Amino acid sequence: MSKKKLVFSGVQPTGNLHLGNYLGALKNFVSLQKNAECIYCVVDLHAITVFQDPGHLHDNVLETTASFLATGLDPDKSIIFNQSSVSGHAELAWILNCVSRVGWLNRMTQFKDKAGSDKEKASVGLYIYPNLMAADILLYKATHVPVGADQKQHLELSRDIAQKFNNDFNCKDFFPLPEPLIPKNISRIMSLRDGTKKMSKSEESDYSRINLKDTADEIIKKIKKAKSDSETIPDDAKLLKNKPEALNLLNIYSEITKNSLEKTISEMAGEDYSYLKTKLAEVLIDEITPVGKETQKLLKDKPYLKKVLKKGSEKANIIAEENLKNIREKVGLI
């Protein structure tokens, strides 16, 4: 078995990318492309597990691609493509649907969160979403998957599916067990309105998140309105245990300024949260608005974005077809 590091990850084209996607995933994608073979996918088949307006979906695929490039992904270094253009994802997903167990899927917390109280009305696709995610990764025999902490459970399931496939078809080490690469300091960016919920594209209030496309004024307004705490910033991180919104803002500031939470706290102890908010808005504007501007610029050249995706899908398809040939053989398909 090849021991080469092969990175795969995906982002759903379900609307505005936000600070959570950026700090939890995209920044990591960019740093990994320096030293590893990387495949980054706009996972449009995942997006349709919840109804998407077809026109919006089409635009969102291009916008997500533009954001990939604007954050620094280089199509000459990484393979960048959209999932539905490589049919192997859907084919392997079906095979893995037959390997994965209903009991395993029943434990997935993201399905419970997204399906809400009326699970009977959720799409079957939403339920088997983690099997498609396993297929995305295993189609390329990826060894490492950069994701935010919210995807850890799905990644563990991918490992279980890979292991069961290897056992069922008597092919030890055929699929590598993919390792999650989760940012160490801050793996889950929380909503600006509710520090117990993750920042998310589908959250109704736009004030809950910083979008990569937000202007400086919007960032200032959102950070000003963000929930924090009426007391001053404490001198010990332990005192933030029951103050998730305050902790979230301090965590984001620390991550962007590349400092530890402890250092930020020691510098800001005794200050009001308005002081943190002013500093946070400043660093966010410096970090985020250039990405937004570049995304808008790239979106003016849609033929170029389509060309990037086409070239990426041709490269991805070659790897996928080669692996699928062996997978079909293992399963006994002619």
- Active-site residue list: 114, 198, 201
Q: Which range, of 17-25, 51-59, 67-75, 291-299, touches ligand AQP by CB under 6 A? A: 17-25
For residue 262, which of 230, 235, 233 has the smallest C-alpha distance?
235
Q: Looking only at residues 186 through 245 of this chain, which bind ligand AQP when binding is defined by CB under 6 A? A: 188-189, 198-202
Q: Looking only at residues 43 through 82 of this chain, which bind ligand AQP when binding is defined by CB under 6 A? A: none
- Shortest Å, Cβ 274 to ligand AQP: 24
# residues contacting ligand AQP (CB under 6 A): 18
Using CB atoms, what's the residue nearest to ligand AQP?
Answer: 24
List 7, 8, 20, 251, residue binding ligand AQP (CB under 6 A): 20
Query: Which residue, chain included where needed, has tokens 């041709």?
Result: 314
- Shortest Å, Cβ 24 to ligand AQP: 2
311: region left, alpha or beta (phi > 0 left; psi from -120 to 50 alpha) = alpha
How many of the other CB atoms lie within 10 Å of CB of 94?
12
Show the binding pattern over residues 123-152: x = contacts ligand AQP (CB under 6 A), - = does not: ------------------------xx-xx-
How many of the other CB atoms lie within 10 Å of CB of 268?
19
| Residue 131 to residue 102: CA distance in whole angstroms | 11
User: 3-class SS at 112?
Assistant: helix
Nearer to ligand AQP, 14 or 166 (CB): 14
**Which DSSP string do the residues of 209-274 spell out, in sequence order?**
--BTT--HHHHHHHHHHS---SSPPPSSGGGGTT-HHHHHHHHHHHHHHT--HHHHHHHHTTS-HH
Q: Which range, of 9-17, 53-61, 240-248, 249-257, touches ligand AQP by CB under 6 A? A: 9-17
User: 3-class SS at 40?
Assistant: strand
Residues that bind ligand AQP (CB under 6 A): 11-12, 14, 20-21, 24-25, 147-148, 150-151, 188-189, 198-202
